[in-house]
Amino acid sequence: MTATLEQRLDAFRRLDDAKLTFARRDWFPGTSGNLSIKIQNDPLQFAVTASGKDKTKLSPEDYLVVDQDSRPVDETALKPSAETLIHAVVYKTFPKAGACFHVHTVWNNLISELYFGQRAFSIQGQELIKGLGIWEENARITVPIVENFADIPTLATEIEKVITSEVPGVLIRNHGIYTWGGNDFEAKRHLEAFEFLFEYHARWLQLRQAVVSTTTTN
Ligand SMILES: CSCCC(=O)C(=O)COP(=O)(O)O
Ligand SMILES: [Zn+2]
């Protein structure tokens, strides 16, 4: 069965909301980023941003619906995001995921670079970890980092190997983050929590370095 018009329009409207919210934060520099909302599981169909669009604007040609093989379900001149395969991997790995968001930010890129040569970034004891749905006291999270393979099927396979239900996100080194949730509200909350934690940690490392330099030179 294919997605109804009502289901598509609802997904497109939700994508508009998420897109404009993230655009206001400058989270789509240079047409980067892509967003999707799942419409149905069996067979998998989801609405995804079209490739190469200016994601700070709304147009009637912003989204299309694709199937489990990341192919458009309708005849269209629009091309799905070049990274649609990664969204498909997320939905196939986590059947309860209802939305998947990808942004390139300075903070998520910095964190992936600061941990160059390592396969994960860890942080503990931050209140915003609860924004990821993890409520245990003094929780530690570990966000996997994969290398930025130019070949998207390879990148998608590497992501498939490391994503777990423990943490709803994965960093791609010097590229960006993919995060997901049960619906668009949850995926947005996760993205905001991750970005806070990345910015906090990068700034904390910088301040600590400045304090160490001051105390050693005095
Ligand atoms: C200009 S950013 C390079 C491609 C990318 O990483 C991205 O997120 C946007 O690709 P899309 O095909 O979804 O527009
Ligand atoms: Zn990207």
Confidence label for 90 from pLDDT (cuts 50, 70 and 90): very high
Of 171, 203, 156, the residue nearest 103 (C-alpha): 171
- Would you say 104 is a known binding-site residue? yes
Confidence label for 117 from pLDDT (cuts 50, 70 and 90): very high
pLDDT digits (tens, 9 = 90+) for 166-177: 999 999 999 999
For ligand 1, say whether the CB of 195 is within 6 Å of any of its atoms.
no
In angstroms, what CA-CA distances link 191 with 26, 51, 77, 137, 207? 14, 21, 30, 21, 24
pTM: 0.96
> Which value, to the nearest 10 degrees, does the dihedral of the CA atoms of residues 41, 146, 176, 122 take?
100
Confidence label for 1 from pLDDT (cuts 50, 70 and 90): confident
- Residues 6 or more apart in contact with residue 118 via CB below 8 angstroms: 145
Distance, CA of 17 to CA of 4 (rounded, Å): 20
For ligand 1, say whether the CB of 79 is within 6 Å of any of its atoms.
no
pLDDT digits (tens, 9 = 90+) for 122-155: 999 999 999 999 999 999 999 999 999 999 999 9
Confidence label for 214 from pLDDT (cuts 50, 70 and 90): confident
Q: Is the peptide bond before 80 cis (omega within 30 degrees of 0)?
A: no
For ligand 1, say whether the CB of 52 is within 6 Å of any of its atoms.
yes
| % of the chain at pLDDT higher than 90 | 94
Confidence label for 38 from pLDDT (cuts 50, 70 and 90): very high
Q: Mutate which of 59, 62, 78, 81 to test ligand 1's pocket (most atoms within 8 Å of Cβ)?
A: 81
* Residue 48 CA to ligand 1 centre (angstroms): 12
In contact, 42 and 33? CB cutoff 8 Å: no
Query: Long-range CB contacts (< 8 A, 24+ apart) of 9-12?
Result: 11/37, 11/38, 11/39, 11/46, 11/47, 11/63, 11/65, 12/47, 12/62, 12/63
**Ligand of minimum distance to the alpha carbon of 81:** 1
Residue 101 has pLDDT above 80, yes or no: yes
The burial class, CB within 10 Å (0-12 / 13-18 / 19+), for 125 is exposed
Structural domains in the chain?
A: 5-216 (3.40.225.10)
Please compute the mean of the pLDDT values over residues 31-43 and round it to a whole number.
98
Distance, CA of 14 to CA of 45 (rounded, Å): 16
The burial class, CB within 10 Å (0-12 / 13-18 / 19+), for 46 is buried
